[in-house]
Amino acid sequence: MGYRRIIPNLALLMVTGVGCVGKDKGATDLSRRLIRSGDGLYAQRASVGKLDQAIQWYLSGEREFPESAKMKGRLARAYVARSYGHEASGVEGYATARRFGLHCLKTELAFGGLVSSAGGEITAKAIDTLEEDRIGCLTWTSIAWSRWLAERDVVGAGIDLGATIALARRAVELKPKYDGGRPYAALGLALALAPKPLNPKLEDSRDALNKAIELSPTRLTPVVDLAEFVSAPQRKAKEWSRLLKQVASTELSAEDPDWLENKAAIARAIALLKDGPSDRWLD
């Protein structure tokens, strides 16, 4: 399905936003304006139209400033939100979010150089070079990658899972309370996805998801992830049911910045309750 493309007039922005100042300051002002415009629309992401407009602002900025980590990070975040909250609308999804997230990380020269020298593999050595200024890209890349794997029930995903977990671990090391504990949510999801032969770290996943829930108690997605990816495989049927019923009965508030994601989490909870618990990988 297509969607309406809102292409910002960059030439007009250059004229109105830059004036007679120097080239470098003009580029900085334009970059900030593009991000500010996209962020204003992203805040209204409950509307798929507004979210698509935000994506177009970020894409315009990414074309204008191809080395901008911020633009790529915003695109990773926006595509995750679109895939999770407006899944049926048919945009490229988590793979696109992952691609922009990795491109964001590769703007860090040490990381990019080590990945290139390893033939494209995301190694622990490369991830260790990343610092707090890449926290958003670390977190959203891990989330996008994990959701992509979970959506497809990818069994032979050892290499992907190793990188996904390592990215989330680094995010937790650097800034665990970023965006209300989202690095913990990323880590908890990634740790739970391994098939049985690869020994999923379900208790570690539980600990990380519980920390995410503690830091953002009104955010419902980690609760559903806990039920689906930890409680069910551990055959804790009562806990599974309690968690999902808790989410399914939640009344949404229009003032909640996580409204879109919470709505999607409620829909997941209702669908899981209807289908019954699944142990996914475990016998």
Look at residue 75 and tell me if it is in a domain: no
Q: Which domain holds residue 201?
A: 104-275
Q: For the chain, which residues score pLDDT lower than 50?
A: 1-6, 11, 14-15, 17-18, 20-21, 90-91, 156, 282-283
- pLDDT for position 153: 67
- pLDDT for position 157: 58
Look at residue 13 and tell me if it is in a domain: no
Got the DSSP string for 86-126? SGGG---THHHHHHHHHHHHHTSHHHHHHHHHTTT---HHH
Look at residue 159 and tell me if it is in a domain: yes
- pLDDT for position 28: 85
CATH no. for residue 177?
1.25.40.920
Look at residue 260 and tell me if it is in a domain: yes
- pLDDT for position 84: 95
Look at residue 68 and tell me if it is in a domain: no
Enter the tokens of residue 69.
Answer: 């980590």
Look at residue 209 and tell me if it is in a domain: yes
Look at residue 22 and tell me if it is in a domain: no
Helices (H), the chain: 10-18, 23-42, 48-64, 69-85, 94-106, 109-117, 124-127, 135-152, 158-174, 182-192, 202-215, 221-226, 237-248, 259-275
- pLDDT for position 194: 86
- pLDDT for position 33: 94
CB neighbour list of residue 65: distance below 8 Å, 6 or more residues apart: 27, 31, 34, 71
Provide the whole-model pTM.
0.88
CA–CA distance, 197 with 283 (Å, rounded to integer): 11
Look at residue 11 and tell me if it is in a domain: no
Number of domains the chain is built from: 1
170-210 residue pLDDT tens: 999 999 999 999 999 999 999 999 877 778 899 999 999 99
- pLDDT for position 53: 97
